Amino acid sequence: LPQLPVPLYLLCVLAIFFGSVLWHLEKAVPDMPVGDDNPFGSIPRGMWFVFVTVSTVGYGDQSPSTDAGRAVTIVLIFVGVLYLAMPLGIVGNSFSAAWDARHEIGIMSMIRQRMKLCGIDAESFARAFAILDADGSGTVDATELAGLLEGLGAMAVPMHQLRSLVELVDVERTGAINEEQLAK
């Protein structure tokens, strides 16, 4: 999924921003240890808190001690919930698109199986495509594809599914598929 690097980048930006804000708010708290003992003694420690909070792990090993730090953490928690919802939407959308295309993928598989049964191999595919291309345009549309299925003795497929199949395979969005696209 090429969209997932964007949320990863956003997570890094959130960690740097909120980690820096928390470090700034918590670094000079009275009665707070200085240096390595301070849970927010550096920006990377603040970033650790952000990663743990946004991922909803919440180890509890550190927490802000000022009211301003707690207020920023509340905002961080809400941002974290929204952040976690974003990748789920991306993955859900990809699943939905694949689920919607399942019929077309099945039809394409059936076409390939029928072509093998009819003895159409790579060499004879070009000749078969030329016969299939009834109008001589060099491309095949849904109507010509219906003729192929009928010629192969395949089951009747509704025209709307054939149009969806053409749209699925037609990367150039011309409304028809060429020999190379059909061979894939």
128-160 residue pLDDT tens: 677 777 778 878 787 777 776 676 665 566 777
What pTM did the predictor assign? 0.52
DSSP per residue over 107-168, as a string?
HHHHHHHHHHHTT--HHHHHHHHHHH-TT-SSEE-HHHHHHHHHHTTPPP--HHHHHHHHHH
Total Cβ atoms within 10 A of residue 124: 12
Cα separation, 1 vs 4, whole angstroms: 6
- Distance from chain centroid for Cα 24: 37
Cα separation, 12 vs 72, whole angstroms: 17
Among 8-17, 38-47, 80-89, 110-119, which is the least confidently predicted range? 110-119
Q: How confident is the model at residue 35 (pLDDT cuts 50, 70, 90)?
A: low
Q: Pick from 134, 131, 142: which is nearest to 176 by CA? A: 142
